[in-house]
Amino acid sequence: MRYIAITLLFFILCGPAFADAAFDCDNGTSPDAHIAGCTVMIESQSSNPRNLAIYYGNRALGYFAKRDFQHAIADFSSAAKISPEPYYYVGRGIVYAAIGDCDHAIDDYNQAIELEPLYPRVYNNRGNCFRKKGDLNAAISDYTREIKINPKESVVYFNRGVALKMQGNYAAAIDDFSAAVSLNPKYALAYFVRADTYIDAGDLKSADRDFKTASALDPKLDRQSTQLTVPPIN
């Protein structure tokens, strides 16, 4: 009887519904599909620990897409407990940052860095949190580390430029915004913030040129309606 039960379970788990759940967990067409598929896979209890962690991680992404942050945090926590890989700590850190809890986010980014010092964008993400907390020196240091690892990431130059602008280091900020638009010529926000920085530096001609470029790329950008005291986190 035990052999028959195991055989029946095998066919149940390997049937079409189970295969569809596995597909949805990995490639669902909507957050709800991800969540439903991953839930089936998690509750099947048929996977090895590493696969189970992946299912929790994928479901966390579905919850995050639905802005269900508490469930996303819970699932990333389950994944990290089962398989302590940097991806799950970075994912949970991003969720914490999204709800404004930069202290917990920084703790998670630190854990990810301890596991994998060259993990993509982790220094950029931690730098964003340091910037939000007002620790501009730490933010600039992290952006600089990220640039050394990924020198072609335009957004990191933009982020460092924003921190430098906030410090009043306008020349260095302009250099970083220039690097950002050199890597991504359609980076409207970088032109826009560089224009604002040119005004800070007293170069109104260059500012006018950049505002026109930014407006052509993204007509929604309007200096009068955009607050740049704390420029956007990107």
Question: In a structure prediction context, what are the per-residue pLDDT tens digits for the chain, which is 234 residues long?
Answer: 444 443 334 444 555 556 678 788 888 789 998 898 889 888 887 668 889 999 999 999 999 999 999 999 999 999 999 999 999 999 999 999 999 999 999 999 999 999 999 999 999 999 999 999 999 999 999 999 999 999 999 999 999 999 999 999 999 999 999 999 999 999 999 999 999 999 999 999 999 999 999 999 999 887 654 445 444 444
In tens, the pLDDT along 162-201 reads 999 999 999 999 999 999 999 999 999 999 999 999 999 9
Residue the block writes with tokens 């200096």: 223
DSSP notation for 72-106: HHHHHHHHHHHS--HHHHHHHHHHHHHTT-HHHHH
Helix 170-183 vs helix 188-201: crossing angle, to nearest 10:
160
Residue the block writes with tokens 């220094």: 123
